[in-house]
Amino acid sequence: MYQPIPVHIVMIEDDEGHARLIEKNVRRAGVQNPIVAFANGSSALEFLFDEARARSKERQGYLILLDLNLPDMSGVEILKRIKEDDDLKKAPVVVLTTTDDKVEIQRCYELGCNIYITKPVSYENFARAILQLGLFLSVVQIPEIL
């Protein structure tokens, strides 16, 4: 019988207000998975490549929420590194960013992003978009990362 694997949501978002809004509305959608939050790319990559590997004896999956505009490195570079890794490339990456440049969107999809969402400017629309994302996350199946 199939048993779902535990899925950790890795949120890479430097704007503290956006991070709180994302977590609040994902929870409002009924998603209770652990959320591991990072305000910069370096610490997120360290977690994904080091700590996640250290716990790899456990069956688990990751879903990554990625902002492109980070203080220490580009979210595009993070996406590229994740998708170049034999294990992590299976993890779905949802880009959540203010960037709506068509070239940037195309580049992210070419690098392997699974969903690209431009953050709405207004608080209400942003909250509604994240709630809808949370509803989607509550039903999506995530592959196991070994």
Lowest-confidence segment of 57-61, 83-87, 90-94 by average pLDDT: 57-61
Closest CA to 95 of 76, 123, 77, 120: 76
pLDDT at 129 over 80: yes
Query: What's the mean pLDDT when you consider all of the chain?
Result: 88
pLDDT band of residue 45 (cuts 50, 70, 90) is very high
Tell me, what's the pLDDT at 12? 98
Alpha carbon distance, N-terminus to C-terminus of the chain: 20
**pLDDT, average across residues 9-14:** 96
